[in-house]
């Protein structure tokens, strides 16, 4: 039986933090809040296998939302992350997406849009943790990728853009985009965060086989 999904909220503004928590709980999505990214990282919650998503403010004292995404990637933790900011700009959004953020929204937050986004994200996580998404199944899907697709898979789950992938592998950007789309379809995932999580699972399974 799959554990109940949860949303983690990291924001140094107590009023917004509480408002987001109440908003999600009003549609029966449990939420746990943190005033600092450091507090979330110090907990063991991100290692919990239950379906979850993360909402984090971009600008916070200490570890910012972008820096938090970088830490999660370094630690091999792939949790669908939504960044929230009052100072959004295109370069910041691009950087966030390259680090695996699934969306980037600005304040004031549209409540219904946020609810819809969180619900869709958690539904995807539940689907990815269903009975047909075990470790062996993910590994089988990875093994069914062509050699080139496996190369592209490793590049994009390392945060590389289509342009960077194309330059590194000596292919056109359009070809890189085509491979990316095929990989998402073959791996049966809906976003980069889930694909990155699949890589963590696959590498763990391969390490076990090589022992």
Based on the fold, state whether residues 109 and 159 are members of the same structural domain: no
Q: Tell me if the pTM is above 0.75.
A: no
Based on the fold, state whether residues 96 and 69 are members of the same structural domain: yes
Based on the fold, state whether residues 66 and 160 are members of the same structural domain: no
Based on the fold, state whether residues 157 and 97 are members of the same structural domain: no
Domain boundary among 109, 128, 147: 128
Instruction: Determine the average pLDDT of the residues in 186-207.
Output: 79
The total domain count for the chain is: 2
Residue-wise pLDDT tens digits, 61-97: 899 998 998 888 777 777 888 998 877 666 777 777 7
User: Is residue 82 in a domain?
Assistant: yes
State the residue range of the domain holding 107: 6-128
Q: What is the 3-state secondary structure (H, E, C) of the chain?
A: CCCCCEEEEECCCHHHHHHHHHHHHCCCCCEEEECCHHHHHHCCHHHCCCCEEEEEECCCCCCCHHHHHHHHHHCCCCCCEEEEECCCCHHHHHHHHHCCCCEEEECCCCHHHHHHHHHHHHHHHHHHCCCCCCHHHHHHHHHCCCHHHHHHHHHHCCCCCHHHHHHHHCCCHHHHHHHHHHHHHHHCCCCHHHHHHHHHHHHHHHHHHCC
Based on the fold, state whether residues 16 and 115 are members of the same structural domain: yes
Instruction: Determine the average pLDDT of the residues in 122-143.
Output: 70
Based on the fold, state whether residues 61 and 118 are members of the same structural domain: yes
Band of the pLDDT at 1, cuts 50, 70, 90? very low
């Amino acid at each position: 039986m799959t554990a109940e999904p949860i949303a983690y909220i990291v924001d140094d503004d107590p009023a917004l933090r509480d408002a987001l928590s109440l908003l999600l709980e009003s549609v029966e999505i449990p939420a746990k809040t943190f005033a600092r990214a450091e507090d979330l990282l110090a907990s063991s919650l991100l290692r919990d296998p239950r379906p979850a998503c993360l909402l984090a403010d971009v600008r916070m004292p200490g570890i910012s939302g972008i820096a938090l995404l970088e830490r999660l990637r370094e630690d091999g933790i792939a949790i669908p992350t939504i960044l929230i900011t009052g100072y959004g700009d295109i370069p910041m959004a691009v950087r966030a997406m390259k680090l695996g953020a699934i969306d980037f929204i600005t304040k004031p937050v549209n409540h219904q849009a946020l609810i819809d986004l969180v619900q869709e994200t958690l539904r995807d996580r539940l689907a990815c943790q269903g009975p047909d998404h075990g470790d062996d199944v993910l590994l089988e899907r990875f093994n069914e990728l062509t050699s080139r697709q496996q190369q592209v898979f490793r590049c994009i789950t390392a945060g590389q853009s289509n342009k960077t992938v194309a330059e590194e592998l000596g292919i056109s950007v359009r070809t890189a985009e085509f491979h990316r789309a095929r990989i998402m379809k073959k791996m049966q995932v809906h976003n980069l965060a889930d694909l990155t999580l699949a890589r963590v699972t696959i590498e763990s399974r391969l390490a076990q086989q090589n022992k």
